[in-house]
Amino acid sequence: MRGKKILLVESDATDRSLMVDRFNQLGYQVSVVGDGLRAFEKIAGDHYDLVMTELNLPHMGGIDLLKKIKKVNESLPIIFISAQAGVTEAVEAMKLGAYDFIVKPLTVEMIEIIRSQLFDRAIALDRGKPEAKFAIITENAKMNRLLQEAREIAHSQAAIFIQGESGTGKELFARYIHNYSNRKDRPFVAINCSALPETLLESELFGHEKGSFTGAMSRKKGKFELANHGTMLLDEISEMNIQLQSKLLRVLQEREIDRIGGTAPIPVDVRIIATTNTDIEKQIRDGKFREDLYYRLNVIPFHLPPLKDKRDDMPLLARHFVEKYNRLDKRNVKGLTEAAVDLLMQMPWKGNVRELENVMERAVLMCKGDFIDEKDLGSHEKMRAVETARLTTVPSVSLKEMEKKVIFHALDQTNGNRTRAADILGISVRTLRNKLNEYREKMEAQ
Ligand SMILES: Nc1ncnc2c1ncn2[C@@H]1O[C@H](COP(=O)(O)OP(=O)(O)OP(=O)(O)O)[C@@H](O)[C@H]1O
Ligand SMILES: [Mg+2]
């Protein structure tokens, strides 16, 4: 346990030095700040194993700090330390997910308890929490409204339809609803309707009896039966063919399924969540999706915003993925430089959060120092496109000059590889070559 990092948020100088000494003796690294705002900045920019904070703090109080931390890093254990034993506050803190509440003065014994009972155990426990794996990281106002609505409707039986571009977190959102529902201890079964040919999809959904078709060697339960009393995610529902759509509609109306080759219907109680990243209304207009099924599925609709519309989440998400891949890849990257965050903020993010996750996974592996900088993100082709775009906005040079700059910049970025540079610039290699000849001739003429 030696070397674990504690963030101590304490405004009283005497208490502060006392605790720091004690924790240092025990072999922990301690960072100290005197107010909630600074504490949150520290947490956003670095990794800690435990936060110990006073309740009454200047600028941002302990409870607000706890709420903010929980949004960024749900599994980080937080202990409150307070001079007065305010029961109300203690209860509130615990309800909001604080690990413990300790009354000052901190005795040597208390610190020992923290060490032996809590520190080692809390970290191990929290890291392994299944919910932590499906946490939705956001501070965006629109997303928070959607999450609030999701929690409010989680208990109902009504079908839910989640729309959003690819990689916006639709599946994660569906799990979130399941985890907040009273079905949370029952199965969550997901099926991707675009991944299977239609006959297989039908038997996957409804199951089959032995010998009901060539290859049906034994009886098989369908996903509907497996999801009984739980939630079923019908992912990419718009890809389902029209005949199967009719069968699904019947299941939703009757609340029973027919196994392929079966003789009697089987009652099922399943909460349906469907998703799509296509324009479903256009599909209805084109006759590819049944309107009546759509109305059955779309009882409670959610539209998840693309990442470009929630750029304020970028630093949090980036930091979250650094933590995730530090853990998975056994790395110890401490965070991102400001320049790296700036660059992330400017990217188009067509692939949304999934693309950001991929970029961060790679950056964690590429990072040589403590912090991910622009270079660690830099070899991603799109980053270069952003760099190039940024350069083209430099004012007060002629268009020709600007063009030359952009071309050399692209060549710089690709270590002189003309094919890739031309690709980034969106011109042919031949045009690039002509331009370079033109510059050379000009130079020679001067
Ligand atoms: N707010 C978020 N916080 C943390 N992780 C997120 C968030 N949003 C998305 N992710 C992560 O991004 C990845 C993509 O999310 P998910 O699979 O839920 O997206 P999707 O909308 O279903 O994508 P697709 O349409 O491509 O199936 C997952 O690894 C998910 O955990
Ligand atoms: Mg998905």
DSSP string of 10-35?
Answer: ---HHHHHHHHHHHHHTT-EEEEESS
Q: Are 230 and 177 in contact (CB under 8 A)?
A: no
pTM beyond 0.85: no
Cα 115 to Cα 127: distance, rounded to the nearest angstrom: 17
According to the model, what pLDDT value does residue 403 have?
A: 83
Residue 396 tokens read as 């007060």
Confidence tier at 190 by pLDDT (50, 70, 90): very high
Q: Which of 307, 354, 357, 359 best tests ligand 1's pocket when mutated (most atoms within 8 Å of CB)?
A: 354
Residue recorded with tokens 């000494």:
21
Q: Are 209 and 260 in contact (CB under 8 A)?
A: yes
Residue recorded with tokens 């403590």:
370
Classify 296 as helix, strand or coil.
Answer: helix
Classify 129 as helix, strand or coil.
Answer: coil
Number of continuous H segments (helices) and E segments (strands) in the chain: 22, 16
> Is the CB of 366 within 6 Å of ligand 1?
no
Please tell me the least confidently modeled range out of 1-5, 212-216, 220-224.
1-5
Confidence tier at 385 by pLDDT (50, 70, 90): low
Cα 163 to Cα 417: distance, rounded to the nearest angstrom: 41
According to the model, what pLDDT value does residue 200 have?
A: 83
**Residue of minimum CA distance from atom 8 in ligand 1:** 169
Cα 299 to Cα 74: distance, rounded to the nearest angstrom: 31
Go through the domains of the chain in sequence order and give each one's CATH number. Answer: 5-129 (3.40.50.2300), 141-303 (3.40.50.300), 307-379 (1.10.8.60), 388-445 (1.10.10.60)
Which helix (H) or strand (E) segment is 320 a member of?
A: helix 314-329
Q: Report the range out of 98-112, 162-176, 189-203 with the highest average pLDDT.
A: 162-176
Distance 353 CA to ligand 1 centre (A): 6
Q: Which of 161, 304, 357 best tests ligand 1's pocket when mutated (most atoms within 8 Å of CB)?
A: 357
> Is the CB of 164 within 6 Å of ligand 1?
yes
- Helical ranges in 227-279 per DSSP H: 242-254
pLDDT at 127 over 50: no
**Residue of minimum CA distance from atom 12 in ligand 1:** 354
The string of pLDDT tens digits covering residues 102-112 is 777 776 666 66
pLDDT at 330 over 80: yes
Across the strands, what pairs with 189?
232
The string of pLDDT tens digits covering residues 387-446 is 555 555 545 567 777 788 888 888 877 777 888 888 888 888 888 888 888 887 777 776
Distance 289 CA to ligand 1 centre (A): 25
- Phi/psi of residue 101, nearest 5 degrees: -135, 120
Q: Are 57 and 36 in contact (CB under 8 A)?
A: yes
Q: Is 238 exposed, middle or buried (0-12, 13-18, 19+ CB in 10 A)?
A: buried
Residues with CB in 5 Å of ion ligand 2: 171
pLDDT at 332 over 70: yes
Q: Which of 144, 170, 172, 349 best tests ligand 1's pocket when mutated (most atoms within 8 Å of CB)?
A: 172
The string of pLDDT tens digits covering residues 275-284 is 999 999 999 9
> What is the mean pLDDT of the segment spanning 211-220?
77
Classify 92 as helix, strand or coil.
Answer: helix
Which helix (H) or strand (E) segment is 410 a member of?
A: helix 399-413
Distance 360 CA to ligand 1 centre (A): 14
Nearest to 370 by CA among 413, 326, 320: 326
Provide DSSP, 222-238.
Answer: -HHHHTTTSEEEEETGG
Who's near 249: CB < 8 A, 6+ residues apart?
A: 290, 292, 293, 296
How far is C-alpha 23 from the geometric centre of its chain's CA atoms?
A: 33
The string of pLDDT tens digits covering residues 258-305 is 988 888 999 999 999 999 999 999 999 999 999 999 999 999 999 999
pLDDT at 17 over 50: yes
Distance 190 CA to ligand 1 centre (A): 14
Mean pLDDT over the full length of the chain = 84
Q: What percent of the chain has pLDDT over 90?
A: 39
pLDDT at 61 over 80: yes
